Structure formats: C-alpha cells, structure tokens
Chain A
Amino acid sequence: MSDKVKVTIDGITVEVAPGTTILNAARQIGGDIVPPAMCYYSKLEGSGGKCRTCIVKVSKGSEKDPRPMPKLVASCRTTVMDGMEVQNITSPEVIEARSGVVEMLLINHPLDCPVCDQAGECDLQNLGYEHGLQKTRYEFERRTFERIDIGDKIQLHMNRCILCYRCVFTADQITNKRVHGILNRGDHSEISTYIQTAVDNDFSGNVIDVCPVGALTDRTFRFRNRVWFTKPIDAHRDCPTCSGKVTLWYKGEEVLRVTARKDIYGEVEEFICNTCRFDKKQTSDWVIEHPTHISDASVIASNHYETLKPLPVIQNNPQLQQANKVELEKTTKF
C-alpha cells in the first residue's frame, strides 16, 4: 500500500500525503484550479472554514465510498481520501456559489478602495474582480463602525473586515498575550479590544500582514503611497527577535514600509518582529538581496520590472523619450 493518496482536482491527478486538505492538494498542482482562500492561513492552526470562498464540489468521495458529498465543502478544511474527485473551476455550481459568497462579503463592505492602503494587494479586491457582480443588489445602508487606532502602529477599519479571524489566531499563536478578539454576534461582530487599549507586543504587527483586506493597516505607511507605485525588494538583517527576512517597499530612495515576505498565496513566509517592521526604515539597516518576485497578474508588477519596458516606438523617438523622462528614470532605478 502506498503511503500517498490520489486525488483528482478538475481532471488533474496528484498524489499527496494522507491528511492533506483539498486546498493544499490543489496548491501542490498550482495554477487556476487552486481555490481562493480568504480566511484559511496555512501558518495558523485552526484557521479556515469560515469565509466559504474556497468551497468545491466533491463529485466522488473516495475509491472505497464513491458517493459524492451532498453539499459543497470548504476545501481548506476537508481532507482528501484516496480516489477522491473534486471539481472546482469545472463546476458551474461551484462558480455560482462562490460568486454568491463574494456578493455576501461585499454587501457591507465600504468599497472604498480608492482611499484604502490595501488596494493593489487586497485579496477581496482580487476576488471581487474575478467573481463579483458589476453592480450591487444590496440597497440598504451599509454597516459602519468607528475607525480606531489599536496602538500607535496599527489602525483598524472595521468596516472593511470580513471576519476571517486570522488576526485573532495570530495574536493567540504568535504573540504572548491576546488583547483583541471578536466581540458581539452575527453581523454586529467586530474585531475589538473592548476597552481602549494598545495592542502592544513584539509580534503584534503581523496582524497587518495576515489581514486579507484593508481592515488592519500599518499606520506608519498610512496614505504614504499606493502600493503599485512602490518597489518591493527582499532584504534581511541580523535580528535577535525574528528571522529578519523581510520585504522593503521603496519609493525612490526611501523605505516606506517593511513587511514579511509573502508567497504566491499571499501568506507570509516567516513572521517578523515589530522592530524590523516599524523601526528599521533605512536602507543602511538592511542587507539588500534582490527585487521581490511579484506575479505578473498583480497591479504591483504592472509598473515595474519585466512589464514596464519602454515601447519600441519610444525607444526610437527622442521627442517621446524626452516626454517620458520621469517614467523612464523610474524603470531604470533598480
């Protein structure tokens, strides 16, 4: 007997270790068939199952019990069985249900992307772009909360929150004491500290990185720039508290913000400490490695690197070169 189990997702078969979830099996295959995940986070134990965007159809339960599962299941929390067959983007039912979930996530969302620091690297924005409707069918006043500062480094815009619970898991598992949590119930639920208090802890800044939307943002970067105008560079330093492996986000010569390095699914590779994140904003603090690889599909990539090369027509025309002088300088900076 093999110690691996076979699972077929959208017609592609892969062998994975027993206990692997459908979502992680799909990530091993990669590409378009990977379900989107707004609440699941592989580095946070117990996360997932809540947002319902990763739902898939199990059309065959397993080799032993080939019956399909009666309902769509959350792929992040359903483990594969040998011989299981899963439909994600090949199932119209899944696509329809997923767009339903996206609609639900957006009905009370302020859609304030133009003034949101997360825009450009927001999972909800991407999800809405792929699955959302052109127009809202929700005609009621949206739910609103006061914007609050939890400490001097982190700002909470509860209006944007999708209640993924990632920041709660992060505080529980990465920091030594959790002071914020989910208060109230149902659609009144909110992330809060209840009594005004600062979230102050060596690793508290990681809640910003795990937040899939613009609910928790870095106050030191607030309104400094749009992320797609900044250039991410991987760098490291010798840090006594964390791995010190980060991404620096440059605008010109200036480091506007520091974040953990993220993988293609937007998850941090290693959590970083607040000193690295908030206090080390000089190039001299860091050993520069190389430009961060940014997916071509991201708006952050669209201004930089491979994609922004002067068009051939510009290259041959001195007048056009002069007119685009500023832009051309930008592209050659790093």
Chain B
Amino acid sequence: MARKLLLEHINVPGINTLDVYRQKGGYRAVEKALKTLSPEEVVEEVKKSGLRGRGGAGFPTGMKWSFLAKPEGVARYLVCNADESEPGTFKDRYLMTYIPHALIEGMIVSSFALGANTSYIYVRGEMMPQIRILEKAIAEAKAAGFLGQNILGTGYNLELYVQPGGGAYICGEETALLESLEGKRGNPRIKPPFPAIAGLYGCPTVVNNVESIAAVVPIINDGGDEYAKIGIGRSTGTKLISASGNLVRPGVYEIELGLPVEEFIYSDEWCGGIANGKRLKATVAGGSSVPVLPANLTLKLANGEPRLMSYESLSEGGFATGTMMGSGGFIAFDEDQCIVRNTWNFSRFYHHESCGQCSPCREGTGWMEKVLHRLEYGHGKMSDIDLLVDVSKKIEGNTICPLGDAAAWPVASAIRHFRDEFEWHVKEPVKSLDTNYGLANYAEPIAKAEVTTGN
C-alpha cells in the first residue's frame, strides 16, 4: 500500500468534524509550529521538503515563501487558491469536501510562517457546498481556539475568511485571483510587480494552491527531511491525482511521486484499467492545458523506458514527446474517443474563459475554436491544420498570463501527435460525423522516425 499523507484518514467517519480530525492527530502541526518553531523555521522545513506548488506550475513552495517582502508596518497576506477549474482536476474539491480541517490547519501554519494575520481562501463560486463546509470548519476551529486572537496563548492572531468567486477559470491565475478578491474583474495583472512584493491591496502576498497548503501539515508534523524522502528526485512527497475519463475507477488518488504511469492506469490499486474492456488511445496527464499524448508516449518515454508520474518524467522529451505534471488532472481517452472533437471542446473552453484583456488570447482562442469546429463538423480544409498550428504559435508566449499558452498547447500537441486523425476528418467529412478514427497506431511501440521535433 502506498503511503498517504493527505488522505490517510479520509474514510474515517466524521473526519470532516474538528473532534474526529483531532482524534486522528489533527492540529498537531499548529501546536508544534506556533509553540516550538519560529516562522523562519517553518519556512525552512517547507524548503527542505522540496514541496512544489500543486496548482500547476510546480514552483517550489518554500522558495516562493522566501521571496515574500517584509516591509515594516505593512500587512502581509496568505491567499489560498481554491479556484479549481482546470478541466480534469477535482482534487481540491475532494479535499475540501471530506477533510476541510486539513486545509484550515495548513492555512494556520502557513499564515504563521508568513506573518499574515488575515488570510483568505478563494473558492470558486460554483463550489457553494464546499464554501459552507469550510465556513463551518472555520467556526469550529475558532471555537476551539485555533483561530482568532492569541491562538493557543502564543500571542499569534489570525482571522481566516472564505471568499467565493463568480465563475471564471482565469481567476485560478494568481494575479487575476487577487483582482477578483479585490472585487474587480478577473483580469490578470501585468507582472512585475509579483504578488510577493505587491499583491492583495498592494501588500506582499503569497498565493498557494489548496493541496500545497494542506501538504504543509505533514511536512511540519514529520519534518521536511522526512517528506523529501518520499517521491523521486526533485519530485518529492505525495500528489493528489484526479483521474477521469474512460477509466474503470475514476476518482482522486494520492500517489507517491514516481509511480509508473502504466501502473497508475492499469493496477487495481489505482484506476483499474480502461472502462468497458476498451483500449487506451490517449491521455492528458496534467489537466486540459498540458499537451495530449498518444497511448504509446503516455506509457513509455521515447527511449522505451517507462514513464513515471513525476514532474521530470512526465515532461521528459519536451513538447516533442512529453507533457507536464500540471495540476495532476489525469484524463484517459479510450479507443472510441475523437481527438478532434476533444480538441475542439477544450478550445471552446479556453475561448469561453479568456478574459479578453490581451489581443492574442482574446482573438486567437476564438479563431482556433471556429476552425476546430469546422474540422469536427465536416467543413474543414487541409490547410486548416497548419493554420491552427500557426495561430497557436502566435498566441503562445505572447500573452499577459499563461492562459494563452494553456489554450495553444492542447491544439498544437493534438496536431503534433494525431495529425492523421485531423487529416482523416478533412478527407472523410461525412464519415467522420458518425464514426471515429479509432485507435490507429497510437498505442503501437514508437518508431524512432515518429519522434519529430514539435514547436
């Protein structure tokens, strides 16, 4: 059985209440940090743990914390990013629903480490039930003396609030989230300045994902060094993977980083294989923004070695043959799924969610969606395929925030690996409306010649 740090007690009845959570060792990290450690020591433990941001970018959390400016007399803020909206990702919802105190406890320890006296959890507005759960958990924690004035008699004060979003994927981008928290449109800010210098209300701010903050709890309990022993290389610790699509058992799994992808998909301990006895065609390994990979490149690296669930192994081969860990949203496509249709669906998502502030993303996402729609519905032209690649290149890297890249990568990668299928849609406009291209050679061992360089 793999080690669990976040979800160890997930099946204990009543774990969503403070009492049961405490019986299972909850709030030990708060006692330990506030009573025996200095804020700097907490930051040091997180640095030692090698924890990398679980929201998608994978930036080392301890390093992010150490960048926080600390000018005299200016408030500092910790904001938890619970605006989980990346298609394929639903781990934060799971964590907040079933074990909300893990997040509250992490928030207290992290706020203490950063010297924040007011912290916010920005939850996407659609998660109203989770907002209610968190509000209840906060009230419980406050009644038990873990929040408010003079926490546990240590002199540390912290108020924790839940802020609902209004329905906008872009607010998962940290500066858009801060704008939204200030009651404005969720337009990402132009950086620099980074939030660590000027974030919420112009004050130094750290924005961390739910899972990152929850992971601080085991790091403080067991020590950063212990945490770093789990995992592989620079991918330390455990990671929540949201598994969806055509799997026997989709759901949220806590894995030790370094687990082979093949084992994750097919082992009965995890997803249990592809549903309905079908074969795997493709995967999106880290949420909809990361490059899609055919089955063969999902399971194996270009050199034939097994691919692992780790930041490094998933991105092995760059964009030519690799993908990214992202937020851990693992989507599996069976042999009957149409890559063109799915690419259109994703590009419709990014078109819908573009904030409209900068021109390449505002105009380019809509353009790509329209071309893909035409291809999917049998009106495409052969030249559309190269047009899509070109438009995606004109968006990628030229926008204010990463949404432009996130919109471009799925399109570019789908064409890179599944060009045959796009061409088939053009050649067989009628047939492609009610039949699918099928598995083709996407699961076959990789011939060296196929590994061409992408953009």
Check B57 for interface membership: any CB of A closer than 8 A.
no
Q: How far is the CA of A51 from the CA of B399 in the complex (A)?
A: 9
Q: How far is the CA of A105 from the CA of B358 in the complex (A)?
A: 10
Residues of B within 8 A of A185 (CB): 168, 185, 354-356
Task: Let me know if A55 and B398 touch, CB within 8 A.
Answer: yes
Q: How far is the CA of A185 from the CA of B365 in the complex (A)?
A: 13
Task: Let me know if B190 and A77 touch, CB within 8 A.
Answer: yes
Q: Select one of A104, A108, A182, A184 contacting B394, CB under 8 A.
A: A104
Residues of B within 8 A of A35 (CB): none
**How many positions in chain A have a CB within 8 Å of any CB in the partner chain?**
32
Check A300 for interface membership: any CB of B closer than 8 A.
no
Q: How far is the CA of A185 from the CA of B185 in the complex (A)?
A: 9
Residues of B within 8 A of A140 (CB): 367, 370
Smallest CB gap from B189: residue in A:
A49
Task: Let me know if A186 and B398 touch, CB within 8 A.
Answer: no
B442 to chain A, nearest CB (A): 30
A21 to chain B, nearest CB (A): 11
Task: Let me know if A104 and B364 touch, CB within 8 A.
Answer: yes
Q: Select one of B351, B353, B356, B394 contacting A163, CB under 8 A.
A: B356
Check A189 for interface membership: any CB of B closer than 8 A.
yes
- Provided the pairs A52-B359, A187-B362 are in contact, do residues A182 and B398 lie with their beta carbons within 8 angstroms? no
| A179-191 interface bits toward B, Cβ cutoff 8 Å, 1 = contact, 0 = none | 0001011111100
Task: Let me know if B398 and A97 touch, CB within 8 A.
Answer: yes
For window 131-170 of chain A, which residues contact chain B by CB distance below 8 Å? Answer: 137-138, 140, 162-163
B126 to chain A, nearest CB (A): 16
Task: Let me know if B190 and A186 touch, CB within 8 A.
Answer: no
Check A100 for interface membership: any CB of B closer than 8 A.
yes
Q: How far is the CA of A253 from the CA of B253 in the complex (A)?
A: 80
Smallest CB gap from B351: residue in A:
A186
Check B304 for interface membership: any CB of A closer than 8 A.
no
| B166-196 interface bits toward A, Cβ cutoff 8 Å, 1 = contact, 0 = none | 0010000000000000000100001010000
Residues of B within 8 A of A49 (CB): 190, 358, 400
Residues of B within 8 A of A103 (CB): 394
Check A95 for interface membership: any CB of B closer than 8 A.
no
| A67-93 interface bits toward B, Cβ cutoff 8 Å, 1 = contact, 0 = none | 000011010010100000000000000
Q: Select one of A51, A53, A74, A107 contacting B367, CB under 8 A.
A: A107
Check B366 for interface membership: any CB of A closer than 8 A.
yes
Check A50 for interface membership: any CB of B closer than 8 A.
yes
Task: Let me know if B190 and A74 touch, CB within 8 A.
Answer: yes
Residues of B within 8 A of A186 (CB): 351-356, 362, 365-366
Check A116 for interface membership: any CB of B closer than 8 A.
no
Check B357 for interface membership: any CB of A closer than 8 A.
yes
Check A44 for interface membership: any CB of B closer than 8 A.
no
By Cβ-Cβ distance, the 6 closest A-B pairs, closest first, are A100-B394, A49-B190, A189-B356, A104-B363, A186-B354, A186-B356
Residues of B within 8 A of A (CB): 168, 185, 190, 192, 351-360, 362-367, 370, 387, 393-394, 397-400
